[in-house]
Amino acid sequence: MKMKIRNKITLIFVLLTALLLLSVFLYIYFSVENYTEREFNLRLKQRASIAAQAYLEKDELSTGIYEEIRKKHLQILPNEQERILKANVNEETLISPNVLPLKKEFFDRVFHTGHAQTRIGKDYFTAILYQDNQGDFMVILSAEDRYGAKKMQNLFRTLLTAYVLSLIILFVIGRYYAKGVLKPISDITDQVNRIRAKNLHLRLANRRKKDELGELSQTFNNMLDRLETSFEMKNSFVNNASHELRNPLTAIIGQTEVALDNARSEQEYVATLQTIEKEASRLNELVNALLGLAHIENDSKSLIIDDVRADELLMELKMSFDIPTYKRINFDFQFLPKDSNKLIFKGNHDLIRVALLNIIDNALKYSKNGNIDLGIRVQERTILISIKDEGIGIPKDDLKNMFEPFSRGSNARSYKGFGFGLPLSHKIVQLHGGELKVDSEIGKGTHVLVQLPIMNESFEIAR
């Protein structure tokens, strides 16, 4: 079962804070425990020193002073025991027998440092060396720190209670905080779920433009813009394709029905067949154009990539036209680079040829008998191919749709064509990682600029 993000955020928040609190509480507990032990050991050391003075120097003290010492310092501790063992400091050995559960290492430490302390179970042991006119002695004092143990138990219960209550409070706060943090995402989800194909014009409300959620909303809106444009283009394409396909089919069917309705003369049958041939040719051109566009979009992986030289390709295109058309094409070579290698780019020769041929053919068709100018220049790592004509131009309102199939300028209806040339060229240039720009003005002509990157050996057609 998948956990919701709100629960994940709450859990992570509680776990991280719980680990932090646990670290702090453990630090407090062990710090207090360490301080309590050091304090108790210090008390034992002081009591051991007083006990040594009380017992070993009792004969040298007045009775009043001794009693005063006992009243001030020798309060009985729980399970307190005092032992004075005779020792030989020079040989570092005990003369008196050891009846305590203390190891030899403990006594060695006393002989070397003059003091040692340890803990065995609940009992604390402290030992000191004491030199007296009667000889060398080791004073050992042991006791149980019941007060410190109770203090630590109380501290443990207090910290445990505070830890559990903190976790509960943290869970409630984390739950509320996670809900508040994710509310904008929930709002975005609700808004997106309300958007369907019929209301793609709707957009997400973006009140948080400067944070990540604002960027997410803007990204969704940008995606919806693209989807809306894609749907509009699809609907426009389907409508235009249906219309263009229906017209020649209707003409063919109508001419056939008329010819079969009654017996006709040979001339009438010939005229009918010529009409059918004309409409069938038109239908064939349209189907080929549709298939060509589909082939470019779906079969780009099988394309062969070669070195293509831009100036030679343009000369090849010019040579493919007849003499009258050939004379209308002018080359501008003044911006050619000195290094001819800069005119070479990676691409599919046949596709680029089709793209440029479509653009030049449009320039020739819409400029009537006017000339067109072809130019090449290299800018940084980009080859710029310029095609200018002095034709009818394209209305500004139609420029934004020029790369959509079946799209034609409102002033070009009287010219033969389906509106596939420029969209196909645009798609081919895009496949080569380039860009196609169109600048036009009615009555003054059109300027098409093809930008192709100079690629390296690792170039691949854009998928």
**Sequence letter at residue 405:** P
Helix (H), strand (E) at residue 31: helix 5-56
Neighbours of 104 (CB within 10 A): 9
Residue 409: exposure state from Cβ atoms within 10 A (0-12, 13-18, ≥19): buried
Scanning 299-327, the segments in alpha helix (DSSP H) are 310-319, 323-327
For 198-255, the pLDDT digits (tens) are: 777 777 777 666 777 777 778 878 887 777 766 765 665 565 566 566 767 887 888 8
Residue 275 clears pLDDT 80, i.e. is over it: yes
pLDDT at 202: 77
pLDDT band of residue 459 (cuts 50, 70, 90) is very low
pLDDT band of residue 457 (cuts 50, 70, 90) is very low
pLDDT at 101: 86
**Highest-confidence range of 126-135, 175-184, 411-420, by mean pLDDT?**
126-135
Residue 463 clears pLDDT 80, i.e. is over it: no
pLDDT at 22: 92
- Helix axes of 146-193 and 212-261: crossing angle, nearest 10 degrees: 30
pLDDT at 181: 74
pLDDT band of residue 417 (cuts 50, 70, 90) is low
Q: What are phi and psi of 442, to 5 degrees?
A: -60, 130
Over range 344-362, report the average pLDDT: 84
Q: Give DSSP secondary structure letters for 249-288.
A: HHHHHHHHHHHHHS---HHHHHHHHHHHHHHHHHHHHHHH
Residue 359 clears pLDDT 80, i.e. is over it: yes
pTM of the complete model beyond 0.85: no
pLDDT at 418: 63
The percentage of the chain sitting over the pLDDT mark of 70, rounded to a whole number, equals 80
For 22-67, the pLDDT digits (tens) are: 999 999 999 999 999 888 888 888 878 877 776 666 555 444 554 5
Query: What single DSSP character describes residue 338?
Result: S
Query: What single DSSP character describes residue 169?
Result: H
- Judge contact between 407 and 244, C-beta under 8 A: no
For 163-203, the pLDDT digits (tens) are: 999 999 988 888 888 777 777 777 777 878 887 777 777 77
pLDDT at 62: 46
Task: Please give the sequence-ordered ranges of beta strands (E in DSSP) within 312-434, or none if there are none.
Answer: 329-332, 344-347, 372-379, 382-389
**Hey, is 75 helix, strand or coil?**
coil
CA angle at 92 for the pair 87 and 98, rounded to the nearest 5°: 50
| 434 Cβ contact list (under 8 Å, min separation 6) | 450, 451, 452, 453
Q: Helices (H), strands (E): how many in the chain?
A: 11, 12
pLDDT band of residue 159 (cuts 50, 70, 90) is very high
Q: What are phi and psi of 144, to 5 degrees?
A: -110, 130
Over range 339-352, report the average pLDDT: 83
For residues 300 and 18, the model is more confident at 18
**Cross-strand pairs, 21:** none
The span from the CA of 9 to the CA of 181, in Å, is 10
Residue 341 clears pLDDT 60, i.e. is over it: yes
pLDDT at 63: 42
- Judge contact between 33 and 193, C-beta under 8 A: no
Of 159, 139, 140, 163, the residue nearest 151 (C-alpha): 159
The span from the CA of 377 to the CA of 337, in Å, is 7
Determine how β-strand 372-379 pairs with β-strand 329-332: parallel
